[in-house]
Amino acid sequence: MFENLSSKLDKAFKTLKGQGRISDINVAATVKEIRKALVDADVNYKVAKTVTDKIRDEALGKEVLISVQPGQLLVKIVHEELTKLMGETKQDINIKGDPAIILIAGLQGSGKTTFSGKLANYLKKTGRNVLLVACDIYRPAAIDQLKVLGEQVGVEVYAEPENKNAVQIAKNAIQHAKNTNKKIVIVDTAGRLAIDEQMMREIAEVKKAIAPTETLFVVDSMTGQDAVNTAKTFNERLNFDGVVLTKLDGDSRGGAALSIRSVVEKPIKFISTGEKMEAIDLFYPDRMASRILGMGDVISLVEKAQQAFDEDEARRINQQIRKNQFNFDDFISQLEQIKKMGNIKDLVSMIPGVSKMMKDVEIDDDAFKPIEAIIRSMTKKERANPDMIDGSRRRRIAAGSGTSIQQVNNLMKQFGDMRKMMRSMSQMGSGKDALRKMK
Ligand code: GDP
């Protein structure tokens, strides 16, 4: 996410020379570099200027302590200003009401339908009864797409494929929600490739008719300044409550994330970072600023892990390790859980300092494919008892998984090392007991 911007800012900080105080002279060039980095990332020019002026004013005259470099001090100031620019604090969506109604608007292709599915999944996990509504009267494929997503996340989808009146469908859907005791209704509307009057009129009518508790505008972050302009137009007509930025997993430059809030004066509430139903996050301005500055985002990483990891399974695996019986079944179960957490490269880049190192490294779910193929080519017995996998078994596994013996040997070696490490860690954990026995 935003690797280009991160590395340019990093370079800018390094240009800040001098000791003692940050002065007019030494800060000017750095601030200019920061502004250039922001503009290159497609941040609105006015926004970039205002924010860098603030950064300069904040930085001027600041004492530089012996223990910090002037560049580090500036990173802190930039972090604060970027956080403010993106809205300071997380803003929740309003899901009060019986049912609460969430209207989803945006251009075609922005990721509206995908997001509707994700939001339904997210809210369902918090224990709420959700209904998805397909209100696209132009593209039958959109209805099918929502139905597939609904099925995937286990949420009912309301649709009337023959009805060409979006307002009517939305109203009927809400009645249906009341009849079936749904607490949240998510209405996915039609989008066009560009803003047109008919579309705007239609969605404004839907909004008026169903009086949503929350209207979310979905926009593709890869479109940069266009995203900001589209947001402005939608806001003038719809007066939406919040923005959803999608496709932040791609090489989006950051302009939309940084400028939308101050140009449109509406908060970003969610971000979407992939096509999987789990790739949805609340938007925390301070965490985003940390990620932009390559400081990592350990908090989000931990939260993702908490969501994806199954507690009971974690306990079981812990037992396996303690008993020194960690096997390939456990290994593959761990891999599955890691994959559920989303795009691997994005996850790794949340670790402080790592995003810079990872800039040119390509890793994705495919990286696990040979490992999975090898493990799946083992018999049940072999998976449970890795020690029995001898030379001839390795040859058979390599042939069965379409990999080489070398790859199988590598995996066996790594797995062996991992077990050794796990064993010594679990022994360290029981060190107290060992000491007690010695006394
Ligand atoms: P809609 O026309 O606005 O409903 O857009 P869709 O939900 O159909 O999404 C358009 C395309 O973008 C689809 O291929 C989605 O899989 C993809 N997409 C949606 N959200 C994301 C995201 O956060 N990241 C990536 N990489 N792709 C996304």
Q: Residue 273: helix, strand or coil by DSSP?
A: coil
pLDDT for 67 equals 52
Cα(206)–Cα(200) distance, rounded to whole angstroms?
10
Residue 429 known to bind ligand:
no
Rounded mean pLDDT of 317-343? Answer: 81
**Ligand 1 center to 111 CA (angstroms):** 4
In this structure, the answer to whether residues 337 and 319 fall within a common structural domain is yes
In this structure, the answer to whether residues 199 and 330 fall within a common structural domain is no
> Could you tell me the pTM of the whole model?
0.73
Rounded mean pLDDT of 215-234? Answer: 91
Query: By alpha-carbon position, which residue is closest to atom 12 of ligand 1?
Result: 111
Residue 365 inside a domain? The answer is yes
pLDDT above 60: residue 186 = yes
Q: Exposed/middle/buried for 70, CB within 10 Å: 0-12, 13-18, 19+?
A: buried
Tens-place pLDDT, residues 62-89: 766 555 567 777 888 888 899 999 998 9
The pick from 112, 119, 275 for probing ligand 1's pocket by mutation, whose C-beta has the most ligand atoms within 8 angstroms, reads: 275
CATH number for position 30: 1.20.120.140
Which of 275, 295, 315 is the C-terminal boundary of a domain?
A: 295
pLDDT above 50: residue 381 = yes
Which residues have C-beta atoms less than 6 Å from ligand 1?
106, 108-114, 191, 246-247, 249-250, 272-275, 279
Residue 438 inside a domain? The answer is no
Query: By alpha-carbon position, which residue is closest to atom 16 of ligand 1?
Result: 275
Output the average pLDDT for the chain. 84
Helical (H) or strand (E) element with 185: strand 184-189
Candidate from 30-39, 104-113, 356-365 with smallest mean pLDDT: 356-365
pLDDT for 140 equals 79
Query: For residue 103, what are its two tokens?
Result: 């209207």
Residue 94 inside a domain? The answer is no
In this structure, the answer to whether residues 174 and 45 fall within a common structural domain is no
Which of 277, 295, 313 is the C-terminal boundary of a domain?
A: 295
Candidate from 181-185, 255-259, 268-272 with smallest mean pLDDT: 255-259
In this structure, the answer to whether residues 223 and 284 fall within a common structural domain is yes
CATH number for position 335: 1.10.260.30
Quick one: pLDDT band at residue 137, thresholds 50, 70, 90?
Answer: confident
In this structure, the answer to whether residues 129 and 278 fall within a common structural domain is yes
Range of the domain at 66: 3-85
**Ligand 1 center to 68 CA (angstroms):** 43
Rounded mean pLDDT of 309-325? Answer: 78
Residue 21 known to bind ligand:
no
Backbone angles phi, psi at 343, to 5 degrees: -60, 125
In this structure, the answer to whether residues 133 and 176 fall within a common structural domain is yes
In this structure, the answer to whether residues 202 and 227 fall within a common structural domain is yes
Residue 189 known to bind ligand:
yes
In this structure, the answer to whether residues 352 and 386 fall within a common structural domain is yes
Residue 111 known to bind ligand:
yes
Task: Give the residue carrying structure tokens 């935003």.
Answer: 2
In this structure, the answer to whether residues 12 and 136 fall within a common structural domain is no
**Ligand 1 center to 275 CA (angstroms):** 6
In this structure, the answer to whether residues 126 and 23 fall within a common structural domain is no
Per the structure, the count of domains in the chain is 3
Cα(288)–Cα(86) distance, rounded to whole angstroms?
9
Residue 143 inside a domain? The answer is yes
**Ligand 1 center to 102 CA (angstroms):** 19
Which of 295, 314, 330 is the C-terminal boundary of a domain?
A: 295
pLDDT for 195 equals 73
pLDDT above 50: residue 430 = no
pLDDT for 434 equals 39
Atom of ligand 1 minimally distant from the CA of 273: 23
Residue 190 neighbours by CB under 8 Å, 6+ apart: 108, 135, 136, 137, 138, 139, 142, 166, 199, 202, 203
Residue 439 inside a domain? The answer is no
> Which of 148-152, 328-332, 355-359 reaches the highest mean pLDDT?
148-152
pLDDT above 80: residue 399 = yes
In this structure, the answer to whether residues 184 and 209 fall within a common structural domain is yes
**Ligand 1 center to 307 CA (angstroms):** 22
Quick one: pLDDT band at residue 124, thresholds 50, 70, 90?
Answer: very high
**Ligand 1 center to 244 CA (angstroms):** 12
Residue 140 inside a domain? The answer is yes
pLDDT for 153 equals 94
Residue 250 inside a domain? The answer is yes
Residue 40 known to bind ligand:
no
Atom of ligand 1 minimally distant from the CA of 279: 23
Residue 253 known to bind ligand:
no
Residue 246 known to bind ligand:
yes
The pick from 104, 108, 110, 114 for probing ligand 1's pocket by mutation, whose C-beta has the most ligand atoms within 8 angstroms, reads: 114
Residue 93 inside a domain? The answer is no
pLDDT for 382 equals 95
**Ligand 1 center to 186 CA (angstroms):** 17
Cα(285)–Cα(299) distance, rounded to whole angstroms?
13
Cα(308)–Cα(385) distance, rounded to whole angstroms?
27
CATH number for position 238: 3.40.50.300
In this structure, the answer to whether residues 393 and 244 fall within a common structural domain is no
**Ligand 1 center to 220 CA (angstroms):** 8
